[in-house]
Amino acid sequence: MNSLLRRLRAELFATRTDTVLSLALITMLSLGAFGVLRWALTQAQWTVVKVNSTLFAVGRYPVEQQWRLWLLTALLVAASGATWGLLRAHPRPDRTGVLWPRNDRLAVGLLGLIALAVPWALELSLAIASRWWGLAVLLVLCRWLAGRFGPGLSPTGRRLAALVWPLLYLVGMVLISGGLGLVSVSPSEWGGLMLTLLASSFAILLCFPIGVLLALGRRSDLPLLRWGSVLYIEFIRGAPLITLLFLGQNILGFLLPGGLAPDRVWRAAWVLTFFAAAYLAEAVRSGLAAVPRGQLEAARSLGLSYPKALQHVVLPQALRVALPAMVGQFISLLQDTTLLSLIGLLELLGTARTVMANPAFLGRNGEVYLTLAVLFWGCCAALGLGSRALERRLDPHAVPSAT
């Protein structure tokens, strides 16, 4: 306690100016926090969120098919837990880290708290609440398993482990939309957080390869490829996303081969993808520019072909440099999905607008928007934390390794 006080004094009240600034800031912050808390606890009526929690989560997805979404959530939670364990408990493949770093213990505590508090606050039925508790336990369990047994994986095993995510994406698509014996649920019935995450993850997964190809195209020696890439990137970056979304609703059906863009949801997802790819290409280009020319020359002089040199020497370094910028792109992409509400899709914001239009919840905008903000913040925070863990793991100089 004493040391904490001493640290506080050293950091906040060291000089007179520091003291004044600290006091002013502390007052402002506590006033702000107090105001929000007072509003949240006394003024706000949270019924609007409690009653509509399912709507916010999955939109009008048919109730009798919602078990599929629970299953998918469980799979995603398991994969997230495993990834968390692999990234954090082993900062590098050749190294065994601490199984539970301090921040991870904190995170587990926080997650436990959320898992307990949220169902209670939303007044979920015991059956539903216990499912959330089960998911929380599953997350921690997978985190522990991956942290404990991760280093035992062979390099091939580790490479295969990364493939779980794209594979899970395909499984998720089947679970959500149906097929392979499952009743099909049309995209017009998708909504809420599920649609937000679906559209953004679709765009994130697909814009990555397209963006890398565009960045390489822009640096290519072939004039046609270079100019094509430049034209594409500059055109997309010069147009507001909302324009492109409207444009996409009208003309994408003609551009893409039949069957690929049959639905408004998918058209919008494709537009998001193509939009994000142009920005991502610029992030990757900055990464490519950061790799010294000598790297390609060294690889070529060892006999590696150009594609192999890119794959094994240039891109791994370029992408590591570009990672923070790319994650920034992904985060703004996630937030850009709110624009889908303007073309009539019921993602989080769209759902919120239909809820607020309901006369029963008139004037409850504050509660709804705050909920939205917290949900978005949670998703973005997870992306940011994940990327930082990945960055640390990819940094060859982060931890000295033992031979």
Partner 1 sequence: MSQPSNELMIEARGVEKWYPNGFQALRGASLTVRRGEVVVIMGPSGSGKSTFIRTFNALEDFQKGSITVDGIVLSDDLRNIDAVRREVGMVFQQFNLFPHLSVLDNLTLAPVLVRKRPKAEVEQQAWALLERVGIAEQAGKFPGQLSGGQQQRVAIARALCMEPRILLFDEPTSALDPEMVREVLEVMQNLAADDITMVVVTHEVKFARHVAHRVVLMAEGEVVEEAEPEVFFTNPSHQRTRRFLDQIL
* List 142, 198, 269, 299, residue binding partner 1 (CB under 8 A): 299
By the rule CB under 8 A, 181 interacts with partner 1: no
Do the beta carbons of residue 70 and residue 132 sit within 8 Å? no
Judged by CB under 8 A, the chain residues 35 through 94 that form the site for partner 1 are 94
Using CB under 8 A, count the residues that bind partner 1: 26
In whole angstroms, how close is the CB of 394 to partner 1 at the nearest point?
Answer: 8
By the rule CB under 8 A, 96 interacts with partner 1: no
In whole angstroms, how close is the CB of 296 to partner 1 at the nearest point?
Answer: 9
DSSP structural state of residue 346: -
By the rule CB under 8 A, 162 interacts with partner 1: no
By the rule CB under 8 A, 397 interacts with partner 1: yes
Residues 6+ apart with CB under 8 A from 26: none
Do the beta carbons of residue 253 and residue 187 sit within 8 Å? no
Distances (CA, A) of 74 to 67, 81, 160, 324: 10, 10, 20, 29
- Which tokens belong to 55? 């709507």
Burial-class residue 280 by CB neighbours within 10 Å (0-12, 13-18, 19+): buried
- Which tokens belong to 309? 């040199």
Q: Which of 221, 236, 324 lies closest to 277, judged by CA?
A: 236
Please say which residue, 326 or 383, places its beta carbon nearer to partner 1: 326
Q: Which of 98, 90, 100, 84 lies closest to 151, judged by CA?
A: 90
Distances (CA, A) of 11 to 1, 7, 149, 285: 15, 6, 41, 40
Build a one-symbol-per-residue string for 236-275: x at contacts with partner 1 by CB under 8 A, - elsewhere. ----------------------------------------
In whole angstroms, how close is the CB of 223 to partner 1 at the nearest point?
Answer: 14
Which window, 11-19, 81-89, 279-287, 390-398, contacts partner 1 (CB under 8 A)? 390-398
In whole angstroms, how close is the CB of 396 to partner 1 at the nearest point?
Answer: 4
Which window, 47-55, 143-151, 181-189, 392-400, contacts partner 1 (CB under 8 A)? 392-400
Binding site for partner 1 (CB under 8 A): 94, 292, 294-295, 297-305, 308, 312-313, 316-317, 320, 394, 396-397, 400-403
